[in-house]
Chains A and B, each alone.
Chain A
Amino acid sequence: MINAYILITMQPGHSDKAIKEMRKIENVAKISVVAGEYDIVVRVQIKTLEKLLKVTDQIQMIEGVKKTTTQVIEKEIAL
C-alpha cells in the first residue's frame, strides 16, 4: 500500500465546495483544512502509483484548486 500527502493551494472562496468534492473521491483517507502556506492537506492510500496519479488528477479537476504538491511517504512512525 502506498501512502501520500497531497498539499493543496486553493483559490479564495472555493474551499467548502472543493472539500465536499474531495470527500467523494475513493482512496482519500483523510482531509485536513489547514492554516499556513497550504489550504488543504489530503492523505491518500493507494495500491499503485498509477492510482495516485488518478487521485491527483481528480483533485486537480476540482474547481478552485490552484496547485497541488504530492509527497509520497517512504517511511512512517506513528502512535
Chain B
Amino acid sequence: MRIRKKYLFYVLAFTSSIIAALISGIDAILNLYLRNPWVIGLSIFFMGVIISFIFTLFLSIPYKGRSLGARTIDPLFTRIRFIKKEEIKYHLLAGAGNALLTIGYFALLSIIIDPSIVLPFAQVAILYLVIIESISEKDTPTLVEVQSSVIVTFGAILGSISLSGNISLEAMAIVFLVINPGWVLLSIYQRKLKLMKINNKPNDAVNIRLWNVFFAFIFSAFFVVIYDYYHGTNNLAEGIFASFDYFGWVVLVAIGVFFSFVFYIRALGIGKASVTQAVKSSVIIFSIPVSLILSYYGIIAPLSTDPVLVLIKFIGIVLMLLGILSFALTLTKAYIFIKMRPGYSIEETMQKLWNIKGVNRVCAVAGEYDFIIKIRTRTLVKGYERILRKVETISGIKDYRWQSVLKEWEDI
C-alpha cells in the first residue's frame, strides 16, 4: 500500500496515542487490584518481555514471501533477530531511559498518593527534545517547530491539569529531573536505532521494541533489587507473581504497550523526536472518552465539572490541536539536482553537501546529474538562505536545479 508520507506519520503517531489511551484505562482497572506501583510496573515489564517475544516470533512467520509482521504492522520487519554490535550502545541507552522514566513514575506514586497535578508537567519532555535537537541534531528545529512545540506543551499541560492531588518540590524534581530526561533518552535513542541500517535495510520497529523492553526490564529489576535490599521489601518477586495472579489484565496492558510502541517507533523514523512526542501527547485528548467510561462505571473518581477547570482543559486541547496542525501544514521538501565540473572529488563534495543543515539525503548518481539531494525546511525563505546559498558556495558545482515537492507518496 502506498500512502502520503505526511499522513503516514500522523496515522502512526495517532494510532500509538489511541492505543496508549486505551492502556491507561486498563491500567486504571489493574490499579483496583494492585495498589503497589512498583509491583504493577514490574509485572507489566516482566509480562511485556514475554508478550513482545511471543508476538515478534509470531510476526516472523512467513506468508507468501513476506513475514506476517511485514504484512501487518511494519513493512520493514523480516524476522526476530539478535541485536547487532553497532546497536548495543543505543539499546542500552534507550533501555536505561525507559527504566528511568518508569522508576521515576513509581517513585512519584510512592511519595504522593495523587500525582495528577504534577504529571502534566511530564509533557515538558517535548521542550527537552527541542533543546537537545537544537544542540546535537543535524536537522535542527526551526522557529515554527519551536513555537509549535511550546504551544503543544502548554496545551498538553492545561489539557491534563487537575485541581485535586498533591504537589511538592520533591515530586516536581522527580518529573523534571528523572521522568522527563528518561523520556528524552528513550525517544532520542529509539529514533537513532530506527534510522540505522541493518543488513543494508532500514531498521524495523518490532525488533527495536522487543529489545527495548528487555533492557528496560533488566535495568528496572536491577534497581528494584537494590530498593528491596535497602527497604526490606520484596517488590521484585511480588511483581513477577502479580503478572501471573492478574494474568488477563497484565497481558492486555503488555499487548497494548507493545503495539503502541511499535507505531511510535515507526513514527520516530519519519519525524523528529520532538514533533513525534508532540503529536503523541494527543493521548490526553484520546484519554477523555476512556476516562468518561471509567468514571461512569465508578472505576475512577467522577471527572470534575467545575466550569473553570473545564474551560482550562478546553483551551489546552485547542492549543494542542493548533500546535499539531501547525506542524502538519508548515513542512516544505525539495530535491536539488546538481551538476559538477570535472576535476572535483565526488566523495568530498558529497560530505560538504551532507554537512549543510537541513539536507536529509545526499545521493551520488550516474546520469545527467552528479548529485540528487533532498532537503526539508519549514519555509522556502529558510530553504534559500540556509541551504541553497551554502550549496552555491561549494567549489566545483556547475549548475543546480531546485524542485519543490508538492505531494509525496511512499511505500508503507
Q: Contacts of B409 on A, CB cut-off 8 Å? A: 19, 23, 30-32
CA distance A36 to B388 in the complex (A): 15
Bound complex: CA A45 to CA B230 (Å): 57
B residues 375-400 touching A (CB-CB < 8 Å) = none
Which listed residue, B2, B360, B404, touches A23 by the CB 8 Å rule? B2
Q: Is the beta-carbon distance between B403 and A74 smaller than 8 angstroms?
A: no
Residue A72 interfacial (CB < 8 Å):
yes
Pair B405/A69 contact, Cβ less than 8 Å = no
Chain A residues contacting B405 (CB-CB under 8 Å) are 32-34, 41
Interface set, chain B 346-374, CB cutoff 8 A to A: 346, 350, 354, 360-369, 372
A31–B363 touching, CB < 8 Å: no
Q: How far is the CB of B380 from chain A (nearest CB, A)?
A: 11
The interface on chain A, measured as residues whose beta carbon lies within 8 A of the other chain's beta carbons, has a size of 30
With contact pairs A37-B401, A71-B366, A71-B372 given, residues A30 and B410 touching in the complex (Cβ less than 8 Å): yes
Instruction: Name which residue of chain B comes closest to A19, CB basis.
Output: B409
Instruction: State whether B408 touches A31 (Cβ < 8 A).
Output: yes
* Cα of A66 to Cα of B16 in the assembled complex, Å: 43
How many chain-B residues does the 8 Å CB contact rule pick out?
Answer: 35
Select the residue from A29, A32, A78 with max chain B CB neighbours within 10 A: A32
Total number of residue pairs linking A and B with CB closer than 8 Å: 96
In the complex, the answer to whether B408 meets A33 with C-beta atoms within 8 Å is yes
Measured between beta carbons, the chain A residues less than 8 angstroms from B346 are 75
Given contacts A5-B365, A32-B335, A74-B364, contact A79 B406 (CB under 8 A): no
> Contact flags (1/0) for A48-79 with B, using CB distance below 8 Å?
00000000000000000000011111111111
Query: How many angstroms from the CA of A77 to the CA of B347 in the assembled complex?
Result: 11
- Taken together as a complex, chains A and B put the C-alpha atoms of A40 and B157 apart, in Å, by 43
Proximity string of chain B (15-37) to chain A, C-beta cutoff 8 Å, 1 when within and 0 when not: 00000000000000000000000
Chain B residues with CB under 8 A of A32: 333, 335, 405-409
* Residues of B near any A CB (own CB < 8 A): 2, 5, 138-139, 195, 200, 333-335, 337, 346, 350, 354, 360-369, 372, 401-411
Complex A-B, nearest 8 residue pairs according to Cβ-Cβ distance, in ascending order: A36-B403, A71-B367, A71-B365, A34-B403, A78-B361, A33-B407, A75-B364, A31-B409
